[in-house]
Amino acid sequence: MKIVLILAALQVALVWWLRSLRKRYLAETVSEDEVNAVAVTDGVEKTNSSQDFKGGFVRAVMGGIELDLTETAVKKPPAVLHATIVMGGVDIKVPKEWKVRGDVGAIMGGVDGAPGRRPSDDERAPDLFITGKVIMGGLAVHN
């Protein structure tokens, strides 16, 4: 019985902590050089228009994140985006000229858009490098 109560308390603490990470605005346009998007049992839409994008973090736990980077530029590639997805989904839109590479592990989840296999004829194109884990969720990258 004590184990059940301890696990329940840990779950409540985890949900409270993850909710405290996210901002109150669920849909916003920002021009920050680093993005931080957290969705816990809800949805977040972010559009970033930074002209010196460096990367950031996206965390989805039983929620969804739509991240639009189509108006973003990278001055010093690669920009590194760290993704943690647990029973949720993240959709990332990138400019057509970007080369996207990544090292994303999936456990009972999927990664669409094949980071690391996106073709680009322009060798000078800015890169986005995506790292992270997908557990029972999905990550999609497209332009």
Alpha-carbon distance values, 50 to 70, 81, 136 (Å): 10, 14, 31
pLDDT the model gives residue 13: 75
- Asked if 22 and 40 count as a contact pair (C-beta separation under 8 A), the reply is yes
Q: Categorize the per-residue pLDDT at 119 as very low, low, confident or very high, splitting at 50, 70 and 90.
A: low
List alpha helices for the chain, DSSP H: 2-21
How do residues 23-60 score in pLDDT, each as one tens digit? Answer: 544 566 777 889 999 998 888 999 999 999 999 999 99
What's the predicted TM-score (pTM) here? 0.74
Tell me the average pLDDT across 54-68: 93
How do residues 7-22 score in pLDDT, each as one tens digit? Answer: 778 777 777 666 666 5
Q: Return the domain boundaries, the chain.
A: 2-142
Q: What is the average pLDDT value for the chain, to the nearest integer?
A: 83
pLDDT the model gives residue 10: 77
Alpha-carbon distance values, 10 to 3, 7, 22, 42 (Å): 10, 5, 19, 20
- Asked if 20 and 42 count as a contact pair (C-beta separation under 8 A), the reply is no
- Most distant CA pair in the chain, distance: 61
